[in-house]
Structure 1
């Protein structure tokens, strides 16, 4: 008998999403975030392997709403029909081409086209399977940069699954690559993915709050910094990002909606980074900047 899955569905203003995610992640939830509607309301689906009870759920959501200064959102809570979730998740993750990269899960049998760079990334607790527009935008930017020449030192800040660090490792085989995240689970997943993709000897992973780890400071400045996070933390780290980027080096930023682009560009321009290119995929924007 398969274990029941519980699903909580609701929508909140986009700026409130991180607060509700933090409130519900403590329940061991897997959270799917959709794109905002024309009123800037973002849908969330929260999947739980055990029922915490509606009292617990209501309390956490009410606290999050109070912290954001918004009304308690309407929600729907139900037991999902019994499903082979492994088969469902694999069917929902077909292989994807992003520039030279062929991103696939372990269930995919067909081989990539000649000249493609295969990246094995299964769905897990860390962000970055390559399907989201932000990750795809970063992969496309990496491919474009690879046409211009080599990079010696690369930093993947907020690495998640490690997909961008692995992509850099394949594009610049002689580069020294660091991957950092403030989430221990993501760091573990990034290390495992690097091992599965046979680049673990070339990627060093660190648990770090931003640029705080001494290894990140010691190895810089970097020819390339990639940060696929969110608009607010990107702006908070703009000065540190510029400080850790070598003169003439590049920065790839993603995790921002198109209407947040001006804010993020302005903050990084003030820090000394100029826009070279942008990649818009759906509602999301990836920026390529130069020091």
Structure 2
């Protein structure tokens, strides 16, 4: 199958819509879109296909549905859609995001970064982390608070996605060793490329693929005085004891990816592992926690 998209359009009576939907949804590789009815009671149906359909097959399906309803077989059009770079199209509508001193922008953004900002280029991609989600912004806020108060020498971004939080940490603590890991090899590939685009020298950030704290470089480079994990509440709780073990005495962990309603459970699991809440931030329904190891 090619990357071409074929668009098939027709109109059917509102009462006959379910039957025609069923007939068209059985076409291989089809995605069906339904609009609202017009004044004549006709509903537009649009079918998107990854290859040119057999017009005789479409006609037969429509004829069978029309016969079942006792109506005339509807006409349809089928055209090849123009090729569009959908990633570029989606990026074009995304402005830069600022969180304190951190200014995150896509390659399409022409405006210069504000003075004294830490500018990081992150394009929308398959890896999570463009600075737009509340949990990412909460983590960036806590990291900047920490950077104003204390030095950090050894930092881990667990579940790094695009690498944004690792990059922010490397800029906020220029002399610190930074390790970034993710379970997804594609995310690590994207993060490595993002590091290159943002001018980090090779080896400045150690990238590793693996599950949690079992990734080779993650094990080798610990213990850490700062761990950032913007993942989900479930994995955070599962990894609570491992997070505590990977922290040096007095080390801190920034945890996010959890809802406000999940705070209590996450805090309880980490308290049992020897980590205690130092601060928390919330944005909408999302939360981020700063925990410290005694």
Q: What is the RMSD computed on CA atoms of the aligned residues? A: 2.5
1:48 to 1:175, Cα distance in 2 relative to 1, 3 A: farther
Paired with 1:194 and 1:136, the residues of 2 have a C-alpha distance of: 19
> In structure 2, what is the equivalent of residue 27 of structure 1?
none
Task: Give 1:230's match in structure 2, choosing from 229, 232, 235.
Answer: 232
1:150 to 1:181, Cα distance in 2 relative to 1, 3 A: same
Task: Give 1:218's match in structure 2, choosing from 207, 215, 220.
Answer: 220
Residue 193 in structure 1 maps to residue 197 in structure 2: no
Contact 2:92/2:108 (<8 A) preserved:
no
Paired with 2:131 and 2:225, the residues of 1 have a C-alpha distance of: 23
Paired with 2:113 and 2:88, the residues of 1 have a C-alpha distance of: 22
Paired with 1:147 and 1:103, the residues of 2 have a C-alpha distance of: 20
Paired with 2:162 and 2:87, the residues of 1 have a C-alpha distance of: 19
> Where in structure 2 are the equivalents of 1:165-176 lying within 5 Å?
165-176=166-177
Residue 138 in structure 1 maps to residue 145 in structure 2: no
Could you give the per-residue CA deviations for residues 177-212 of structure 1, whole angstroms, max 9, x where no partner exists?
Answer: 100011010110111111111124310100111101
**What is the deviation of 1:283?**
1.2
5+ residue gaps, structure 2: 8-47, 53-80
> In structure 2, what is the equivalent of residue 282 of structure 1?
284
> In structure 1, what is the equivalent of residue 120 of structure 2?
119
Residue 250 in structure 1 maps to residue 226 in structure 2: no
> In structure 1, what is the equivalent of residue 272 of structure 2?
270
TM-score (ref. length: structure 2): 0.71
> In structure 2, what is the equivalent of residue 151 of structure 1?
152
Paired with 1:192 and 1:87, the residues of 2 have a C-alpha distance of: 18
Greater C-alpha Rg: 2
Task: Give 2:241's match in structure 1, choosing from 239, 242, 246.
Answer: 239
Aligned length: 223
> In structure 1, what is the equivalent of residue 184 of structure 2?
183
1:50 to 1:227, Cα distance in 2 relative to 1, 3 A: farther
Misfit runs of 4+, over 2 Å: 2-6, 47-51, 80-88
**What is the deviation of 1:243?**
0.4
Paired with 2:218 and 2:86, the residues of 1 have a C-alpha distance of: 39
TM-score (ref. length: structure 1): 0.72
> Where in structure 2 are the equivalents of 1:99-118 lying within 5 Å?
99-118=100-119
